[in-house]
Structure 1
Amino acid sequence: MLDRRNAPRTVLNETGSISIDEHRSLPCIVYDRSLGGVRVALPEAEIVPDRFVLSLDASNEILVCRSVWRKAEEIGAVTNEPEADRSARSRIRRGITSV
């Protein structure tokens, strides 16, 4: 089978939560992650909006996601990079090592 992924995936199988709106969130399992995407599973995947905020419990990361596919209880989504990671990489590229 042809693998169409742009970046390799890392298996995580970690807990997280998806914010449905400013008052509700749903627990989920983050199965795997790549540089620009995640695959999550949760029983109520059908109520998750196309754009959502994913919080990863183990790393305390918060990712803004956009759903690109859905299958039963799974969602595949593209992600942004956390702001802290983006600014750290930017400093490294410019040769700045201290904050």
Structure 2
Amino acid sequence: MFRFTLTFEILLIVVLGGMGSITGTVIAATIVTILKEVLRSVEAPMDLGFISLPGIPGMRMVIFSLLLILVVLFYREGIMGQREWSWQGLLGARSKTPERGEDL
């Protein structure tokens, strides 16, 4: 069953990563997943020993909304835009195969 928050997270991942980039979407999914876990502490109450701070329910969605607004305003194409990472690009010249008649 899809909830609004799941739909919003999928939209955030696609826009943050770049509409035309699978690599950017994977990077954005990693960032959003890590942020969800880090920001979980903001929503939970904290006990500092001498004072107890209440949690702020819904703060993760506020932070994700601000992140989406910033990406739309300043990074219109997302993190990667239309670019992709490839194995040849990551490995560089090491994976270059010799041309016909070239020495190994």
| TM interval, short-chain normalised | under 0.3
Give the number of the structure whose alpha-carbon radius of gyration is greater. Answer: 2
TM-score in terms of structure 1 length: 0.25
Higher strand share: 1
Higher helix share: 2
TM-score in terms of structure 2 length: 0.24
